[in-house]
């Protein structure tokens, strides 16, 4: 089974249960610290279910460090929050490759629906939605869930 890519809220729950996870963040944009003025880089936490959290990073398209850093959970959370504060964004999917939008997609989500990054089952036929920071947005029924997932493959269903 593939290790899920999750946000920090879900990672905290998985950590407390002893379940493995990955948190992958990417930054693509302007960066005055580089010669080109642009960066495309990733930063990732991996926890196999016990021991220390591994942290790796690098330019998008490379494998990162040959020896990842290791942190305890509180330090890993601190580092991840620093990256989010610098403009990094969550990547969703499984393992280290997030799903890509497909050419047949014609529906574009608007309004609060465009902010949805995670959908969680809340009961029989009821789903709660959350933005990239993990903040609650709105409730959906099964049809709404299916429409959001069909329109945006980057939304994570958990």
pLDDT tens sequence across 110-127 = 777 778 888 999 988 899
CB 148 within 8 A of CB 92: no
The pLDDT, as a whole number, for residue 36 is: 81
Lowest mean pLDDT among 81-90, 104-113, 129-138: 104-113
pLDDT digits (tens, 9 = 90+) for 51-75: 999 999 988 888 888 888 999 999 9
Question: What contacts 134, CB < 8 A, 6 or more positions away?
Answer: 7, 8, 9, 118
Strand partners, 156: 118
pTM of the model: 0.58
Average pLDDT over residues 25-45: 86
Q: Would you give the DSSP letter of residue 97?
A: B
The pLDDT, as a whole number, for residue 100 is: 37
């Amino acid at each position: 089974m593939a290790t899920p890519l999750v946000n920090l809220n879900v990672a905290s729950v998985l950590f407390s249960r002893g379940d493995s996870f990955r948190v992958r963040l990417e930054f693509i944009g302007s960066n005055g610290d580089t010669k080109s003025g642009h960066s495309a880089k990733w930063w990732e936490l991996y926890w196999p279910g016990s021991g220390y959290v591994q942290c790796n990073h690098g330019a998008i398209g490379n494998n990162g460090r040959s020896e990842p850093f290791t942190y305890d959970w509180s330090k890993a959370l601190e580092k991840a929050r620093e990256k989010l504060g610098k403009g990094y964004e969550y990547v969703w999917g499984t393992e280290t490759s997030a799903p890509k939008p497909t050419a047949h997609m014609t529906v574009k989500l608007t309004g609060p629906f465009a902010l949805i990054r995670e959908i969680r089952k809340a009961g029989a036929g009821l789903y709660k939605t959350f933005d990239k920071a993990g903040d609650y947005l709105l409730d959906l029924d099964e049809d709404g869930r299916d429409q959001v997932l069909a329109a945006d493959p980057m939304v994570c269903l958990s």
